[in-house]
A and B are shown apart, each in its own frame.
Chain A
Amino acid sequence: MTPDILAGLTAAVTFVFVFYLLRKGVLREKYAVLWLFFSAAALFFAIFPSALSWITRTLGVTTPANLLFFTTVVLLVLVSIQLSYELSRHEMRIRRLAEEVALLQQQIDEIRDTDERE
């Protein structure tokens, strides 16, 4: 089997782009690591398609493409769930901060009022 040039290029570009974002400091390591790992794996299988065929045979799956699609879908679903979790947690924290800010503002107003009266 020959290396898949299109798949390899896509994986390489993804890898470089994620690395660039990480270096710029706009992407946190815990997310970047995951994408770097995915694109590195994709790059590996693009260069050595026989490795994918071997895993496919070992697992007893009929077509390599099926294994690839299945794994990809599972991983993407897991990532989406993790992102939903993070988002929910942030929403809760932001709301909590908003409540705290509101209560503090009220206390400041109160202190100012008593100061003015004195």
Chain B
Amino acid sequence: MTTARSLVAIPAWNEEGSIADVIEKVRLNQPSVDVLVVDDGSLDGTAHVAREAGATVVSLPFNVGVGGAMRTAFLHARREGYTALVQVDADGQHDPADLDRLLAGLTDADIVVGTRFHPESMYFVGGPRRWAMVLLSRALSIMNRGRISDPTSGFRSAGPRAIELFAVDYPADYLGDTVGSLAIAIRKGLTISEAPVTMYFRQFGRPSKNALWSALYLGRATLAIIATSLQGARRTKEDTA
């Protein structure tokens, strides 16, 4: 596995405040990787700031969500011949020090999911949200015949086979980009492993998560998994350009 053809993809939507810092930290940890920022229809200076920080910037004309942004990244990776892609969040909650581990894991697997649940982790969720995450984890682990303890983690890496698949087929629906994409990969016979990572709490958190939210979350994720499992070969026409 050559790290010379590795790409760090950062989907970003209005993250001008944190993006430069994230790019710099990625560079410090992995000087040899290329950094791609997929600006997902930002209205602020995200694209400009990212370009100044030395990243390649692909700007979507309007907001398409993380799924669409990631498929753009996979398309780019495939066309430019990258053999590894690591997804990193633009808000600084992922620690680029873990990039090594996610890239190293690709020698034995097609996808390596960074998990927040391990003995040294500071990450904690409780209540209904935790139950939802546990259920999802169980379901995907069974499908995978191997442990996936944190399927909703957006800190993950993909090898050549996964890049090939996701450039064509990457779900754009809610939760599809995390849970749904894993279900697709399992279906196509790709191998998935996991690596412990550090995740910081978001500085500007999402709205508070209550029981109703968790139930909806679980419902939509279940729907995403079922839809993927039942789906035939969904293909978006993909040119060879």
Is A87 interfacial (CB-CB < 8 Å)? Answer: no
Q: Which of A99, A105, A106, A110 contacts B68 (CB 8 A)?
A: A99
The segment from A18-26, A32-40, A63-71, A90-98 that touches chain B is A90-98
For residue A92, which residues in chain B have a CB less than 8 angstroms away from its CB? 172, 236
Query: Once the chains are docked, how many angstroms separate the CA of A79 from the CA of B226?
Result: 26
Interface of B is mostly: mixed
Q: In the complex, A101→B75 CA distance in Å?
A: 12
B27 within 8 A of partner (CB): no
Interface residues contributed by chain B, number (CB under 8 Å): 17
Q: Contacts of B223 on A, CB cut-off 8 Å?
A: none
B137 at the interface (CB under 8 A from A): no
Q: Does B97 contact A (CB under 8 A)?
A: no
Contact A102 B72 (CB under 8 A): yes
Most A Cβ at <10 Å: residue of B38, B72, B172 = B72
Query: For chains A and B in complex, what number of residue pairs have CB atoms within 8 angstroms?
Result: 38
Stretch at the interface among B54-62, B112-120, B210-218: B54-62
Complex Cα spacing A38 to B30, Å: 65
A99 to B56, CA, bound (A): 15
Binding site of A, secondary structure by majority: helix, strand, loop or mixed?
helix
- Give the A interface residue count (CB, 8 A): 11
Residues of chain B touching chain A, judged by Cβ–Cβ distance below 8 Å, are: 38, 56-62, 64, 68, 71-72, 75-76, 79, 172, 236
Interface residues of A (CB under 8 A from B): 92, 95-96, 98-99, 101-103, 105-106, 110
Starting from the known contacts A99-B71, A99-B72, 18 additional A-B residue pairs (CB-CB under 8 Å) come to A95-B68, A96-B236, A98-B61, A98-B62, A98-B68, A99-B60, A99-B64, A99-B68, A102-B59, A102-B60, A102-B61, A103-B72, A105-B59, A106-B56, A106-B57, A106-B59, A106-B76, A110-B56
